[in-house]
Amino acid sequence: MIDFIPKIHKYESTVGMFYVNAFLVESANSVVAIDATLANSSVADLRSMINDKIKKPLVGVLLTHGHPDHYTGIAELIKGFGDIPVISTEGTLSQAHSRDAEESGYLGSPNAFGQDYPAVRVFPNQIVKDGFKVSFDDVEFTLEDLGPCESDDDTTWTINIDNVEHVFSGDIVYNYMHTFFRDGHSANWLKQLDYVQQKYNINTVFHGGHGADYGIETIYWQKSYNLAFLRLLKELVGEKPTLNTEEQQLLFTRMQQFLPNTNLLFLSGWQFDDMVNALRIDGIL
């Protein structure tokens, strides 16, 4: 009998304009999810991929980072699959808890997701550290903790299929979409983009949290986007506490030059003043 070659199934949600991805890794007898999207309707699509298309049980969920568009759907996703592991680092768990406390009221409101926001959220139940390895069937997943980058703790999960590394890279690269700087860890983020770019090779496939799959070349794009954004913001804000509406508009009009679309534009202006503060604390502004 020929061994089953693992298959990666991608799901991209367009609900609520998040364009967030989740991935299902199918092995001989089971399925593992990487991230879980946010909205009930997205999770229903993901579950239908598992139950109607793949037709194998979900045996684990691996989380890349603790932002709401990635963890909020976990409760609905794992329903009926028993007491399965939901795995992340401590940093990812603690950010998921704090973001849930801060934002679930807004995200569940009629102005945001309303009824499409999961009434119950479930958080990781297995906390692991950098270098952790776990196998489901014959597929081995390795966690790398990059520390605070786009979120308070960004991690990657890597598997090897036929000598090609597949890296589930969360939101360290957005792949031609506006990028979220609210958490303010831009210095370490740039450092880790350099590191990831050096570590992998031309055949590596990155499966990111937003946008199409990519290779190491796209990491150059993300670095440029980050450097340009921070440079323009620094000039515009100077010593002022924040930017006014016109200045923010100028910033995003300029940043639009990097992009073929306006995806996630709303996200880059989200909590703008807090973002400026966070970037000041990080020392980049």
Tell me which residues touch Zn ion (CB under 5 A): 69, 171, 209
In the bound state with Zn ion, the residue whose beta carbon lies nearer, of 36 and 128, is: 36
> Nearest distance from residue 18's CB to Zn ion, in Å?
7
3-class DSSP assignment, residue 142 = strand
> Nearest distance from residue 171's CB to Zn ion, in Å?
4
> Nearest distance from residue 20's CB to Zn ion, in Å?
5
Give the C-alpha separation, 157 to 149, whole Å. 16
In the bound state with Zn ion, the residue whose beta carbon lies nearer, of 69 and 144, is: 69
Phi and psi of 32, rounded to 5°? Answer: -120, 135
In the bound state with Zn ion, the residue whose beta carbon lies nearer, of 60 and 66, is: 66
3-class DSSP assignment, residue 284 = coil
Q: In one letter, which amino acid is 252?
A: F
Residue that the structure tokens 């090609």 belong to:
164
In the bound state with Zn ion, the residue whose beta carbon lies nearer, of 136 and 225, is: 225
> Nearest distance from residue 208's CB to Zn ion, in Å?
9
Q: What are the Cα distances from residue 259, in Å, to 18, 121, 137, 266?
A: 16, 34, 40, 14
**Closest C-alpha to 65, from 124, 106, 120:** 124
> Nearest distance from residue 67's CB to Zn ion, in Å?
5
Two tokens at 147? 């520390």
In the bound state with Zn ion, the residue whose beta carbon lies nearer, of 60 and 170, is: 170
